[in-house]
Amino acid sequence: MDNIKLYEISPAYVDYLVPHAPHLFQNKRAGQQNERKYIGVVLTVNGMDYFAPLSSFKEKHRRMQEGLDFIKIKNYAVINLNNMFPVPPGTYGYVDISKERNPKYKSLLLAEYRYIKSIQGRIRKNAANLYRLKVYGPESPLTKRCNDFVKLELLCQQYR
């Protein structure tokens, strides 16, 4: 299996999904100075590509326990697998870290990527298990905070 990689998602696709996925943030809102970049990993789940976004590490994450849906990328970022969503081909592109101009951001991306690569097996396993639990398991506090994967798969297939 190939090494996991970092990808950026199309803002237009995120905007398309936002009305159907309460956990997604729009890339740019009125009054917001900078557009939010969606950077994350792409995983194969249920035969489809799924995008699991990275979120900036916040102070609250220090106290939180890792779990099936929550993985810490040291103190750089977190991956909330409950927020993953299916992505059609052409809506995401590889992040070439070597082309990043900002040295601090480049260093952060490299550190995140190295650690993500070292735990890629756990990330993939957790994503598959979380998907199965959400789609086939009983409702629980964990599954309630997940995106509706089946609904998003249908929207993904209809995206033009």
| Distance in angstroms (rounded) separating the CA atoms of residues 27 and 49 | 21
| Distance in angstroms (rounded) separating the CA atoms of residues 78 and 57 | 6
| Distance in angstroms (rounded) separating the CA atoms of residues 90 and 73 | 27
User: Domains in the chain, please, with CATH?
Assistant: 6-158 (3.10.129.130)
Supply the mean pLDDT for the chain.
Answer: 91
- Asked if residue 43 has pLDDT above 60, the reply is yes
Query: What's the pLDDT score for residue 17?
Result: 93
Hey, is 42 helix, strand or coil?
Answer: strand
Q: What are the tens digits of pLDDT across the range 108-136?
A: 999 999 999 999 999 999 999 999 999 99
Hey, is 66 helix, strand or coil?
Answer: coil
Q: What are the tens digits of pLDDT across the range 90-111?
A: 999 999 999 999 999 999 999 9
Averaged pLDDT for residues 65-82: 95
Written as six digits, the tokens of 6 are 């970092």
Query: What's the pLDDT score for residue 148?
Result: 95
Query: What's the pLDDT score for residue 36?
Result: 62
